[in-house]
Structure 1
Amino acid sequence: MQLVVARIGRAHGIKGEVTVEVRTDEPELRLGPGAVLLTDPASTGPLTIEAGRVHSGRLLLRFEGVRDRTAAEALRNTLLIAEVDPTEMPEEEDEYYDHQLIDLDVVLADGTEIGRITEISHLPSQDLFIVERPDGTELMIPFVGEIVTEIDLEEQRAVIDPPPGLIDDRAEIASSREDEAGSGSGEERA
């Protein structure tokens, strides 16, 4: 299985280094010296990482055969792709690879279907599930323990407990329950 692990940014300096937008939770594993990566577009690769370092909070890489700024700049916007064994699991217990989460059904604890995960968006503060609802609309769900309560790879589902307002239906349900409770509270019963 192939996973996009990074995107090459601009050249850095004059000796062939490039900035890299990391798209993997395991850069030390996927983007270490000696790693051979496929590319998109394929005409620029495969590329072998010769060296890497962090500079001002950004990962810089140098590839074998890329020795100057011109060659480095020619790689700009190239996607770096790693070959990953589909049965491989992350080292940490509650971590998942994107390919394990894509296409999982998203449901509430009571089994109510919300949609299907079509993409994982990796933001600096947290990851988001991009969920396609049955009506074709998209929904973004933060991938945090308070909201995503269970990932069941065997059943191919992610169970969520969203706060009111995250999912339109939940906000409407909560609002209607509050209205029902409020209208009956002032009445006396015989």
Structure 2
Amino acid sequence: MDVVVGRIGRPHGLRGDVTIAVTTDDPDTRFAPGAVLDSDRGPLTVVARRRSGPLLLLRFAGVDDRDAAEALRGTTLRVAAEELPEVDDPDEFYDHQLVGLSVRHTDGRTLGEVIDVWHPPAAPVLLVRRPDGTDEAVPFVRALVPTVDVPAGFLVVAPPDGMFA
């Protein structure tokens, strides 16, 4: 299984640098020079990494000008899940561990399945697909998600009034 660690954004400058929308908690390791990332365009090797203010900029082998960089815009960058370090904190999870989990109400009813994890500036948000095909966004905080059991394949949600109504 592959895990998304970033997405290539717009070109930056004339020499092939691209902006990166980071979705990993360890960008220094994932995007170090020499790192090889999987993508839908084949493997991409990082040859340079730098910051320009808040932006992370990467340059890949064989991408030497703005046109080549523009051709990569929107490309998803992935690594094999097996390459990720073990998580020591029992309350932390990789996104790929959460996607696919069954979502249960505290009373035992099945509410749906986690189909995505969003990372807005505040807490992560679980996108849950209900049995009727509609989606519900659930902030991934202990007050709303008191139990996560990855080995058993489910998590429990204590929804406030109006959620999953």
- Same-fold call, TM cutoff 0.5: yes
Residue matched to 1:124: 121
Amino acid across the alignment from 1:19: T
Residue matched to 2:56: 59
Q: What root-mean-square deviation, in Å, do the aligned CA atoms of Structure 1 and Structure 2 show?
A: 1.9
1:77 and 2:77 are equivalent in the alignment: no
Contact 1:89-1:97 at 8 Å conserved across structures: no
Q: Which runs of 4+ in 1 moved over 4 A?
A: none
* Offset, 1:92: 3.7
Q: Which has the higher contact order (CA 8 A, sep 6+)?
A: 2
* Offset, 1:127: 1.7
Cα displacement string for residues 94-141 of structure 1 (whole angstroms, at most 9, x for unaligned residues): 221122111111112221221111111222323211111122221111
For 1:54 and 1:90, how far apart are their aligned partners in 2?
27
**What SS does structure 2 have at the residue aligned with 1:111?**
coil
For 1:19 and 1:71, how far apart are their aligned partners in 2?
13
Structure 1 residues 131, 75: closer, same or farther in 2, change over 3 A? same
Structure 1 residues 51, 31: closer, same or farther in 2, change over 3 A? same
* Offset, 1:91: 4.5
1:48 aligned residue (42, 45, 48): 45
Residue matched to 1:36: 36
**What SS does structure 1 have at the residue aligned with 2:58?**
strand
Cα displacement string for residues 30-77 of structure 1 (whole angstroms, at most 9, x for unaligned residues): 22222101112x2xx311111222222121111122222222122111
For 1:33 and 1:57, how far apart are their aligned partners in 2?
19
For 2:64 and 2:21, how far apart are their aligned partners in 1?
20
Higher helix share: 1
For 1:33 and 1:123, how far apart are their aligned partners in 2?
28
1:137 aligned residue (114, 134, 138): 134
Amino acid across the alignment from 1:118: I
For 1:60 and 1:2, how far apart are their aligned partners in 2?
22
Unaligned residue ranges in structure 2 (runs of 5+): none
Contact 1:9-1:76 at 8 Å conserved across structures: yes
Residue matched to 1:19: 19
Aligned pair count reads 165
For 1:116 and 1:129, how far apart are their aligned partners in 2?
10
* Offset, 1:152: 0.6
1:108 and 2:111 are equivalent in the alignment: no
Residue matched to 1:5: 5
